[in-house]
Structure 1
């Protein structure tokens, strides 16, 4: 099959599907919104694929799975439909299509990628051995879907992640591992003007700990350790009795994740009578370049055969569910979704002319992988 020609012909339907998905807001934290989005994703997917998905519910969230054929899964196609945009964002960031550019909350990350997955799989002459998994909690770390993702990926020949591309349409061949923590301090309240010496100032203890935590970064190894959201105290004239700050850690390898984890858990209070607690830990393992190298080479050959421009692969700091599939030893190629930019930002957009070629690449790559059965 000429996948490029077939999917160029499907472009009007792809654009209609994307518009419908973007118009259905789906912030991860809003269970009702995510449920409504899951219903819409299921309907559009069923229309394109000719089959309804299996619904897998965990902690009130519905994840959708299409499994084709009676045998084991050979290729896992992975995506999510939740976004970071709160309900009401369409009022300030309306969905538009103008001058070959689509805009709207979540269009790039990653509703256009979902539509590309539907149309790419629909174009396959034989889908047996393909599983498409669409989750609803990726943007908050996949707390209810991570075990499902790992189980689906285990033993597959490949996991293809339809997350948005890197700049210029580059594929994501390496991702840092992600760890998230909360550093909590318990002190003792006192009147800030009358007898501050009777208190144990949680803000001061937090200041010591923020500096200690930030010093754990190792730029030479690509390890970032970033104190982020911070809060302390209850009133302006009271010595703060409690406070906490969040820590975001990104590391290229598991050894660095382990080093930072051990150092955070070894933190001790500086102030007398202060109590320190560190909670959290690694949430996504690294996706090393070795996990994607063979698939990237195969995708490059497929792109050349389709007459598409040469592919580029880049390393990125952000995590995705591709980290989880790589973590169980499954070869993983990420960033196969929409070409555009502005993920999570005001200028989020998708380039229309790249939709059909990217979907054709996915279809041809899946067909190539299935050909080795």
Structure 2
């Protein structure tokens, strides 16, 4: 393994915040007749029924367009109940969610940009809300507490980073950049459920919407990352952005307690975090200037593991073989990632990892294979907890 020894700080612990109830899993509906079919094209978002019984709902999504698309289930105020990203042209996905009675919108986003093509739908009260076991209720309660703790713990780390930026201290800001993101990365699906926060704090330049000006509209961590590593300087604009970052993160902390959390959203959020690793961290795209990708990787993995561990008492009763496989795959990927640690001490709150630009092509493929090996069985967790 050809790697650098440049340290990257990472707090220990495991976490996940996932309110999305529709995520990157591919599952069979219990009955094709009961499933809600969503057909996405480049110009339409067709839904097979405009109302359906509340409870455990299966959506069978097919992308018949020429562009990669996303499908969202939204509250009327645009909070995200559930989402499924990266649905390629000509592909299908079946998604399981726990949905309360009420009005919603389903949005398809061809090209994964904009507000999407929307359809109004209603979850009716005809179907009883799914009965939860004591174990499932305990998992949700523990997870909610964890999400709140992660958000609150992010603020002082982010403030230290912002203070270094405002002081014009490039090297100190570089040192504090990755640690400031750990809580966010562990709980990203919950943060993304508030659709207006993620684009402010965690968007990359190529993720800006059409017509947005990077000089004026690009804010958040990655804009500061570029200034620190690519430009090597801090100007008045960056100091303003540091204050804006803190304002947006404080907004996130205030709202995170209102997130909708269910056993299926926790399970699907775990899979979504693995998808984040596969599409952004293993590729090196997320932290393209700082190369702190393995810090994010670790935080995403910890998040997925936290959700899984809380749901294991439920899933173990319904699908013990799945639990056995997930135990093995989580352990294997954790062990593989730990090969890239540069500190071998026992300090629980700080890990150091190699700079990702020093990780070779073969090693990146090995990491990718490990992620995929875990993602496949993890995609079945929501079905296991919904039984």
Instruction: Provide TM-score, normalisation by structure 2.
Output: 0.29
Instruction: Provide TM-score, normalisation by structure 1.
Output: 0.30
Structure (1 or 2) with the greater helix fraction: 2
Structure (1 or 2) with the greater strand fraction: 1
Largest Rg, 1 or 2: 1
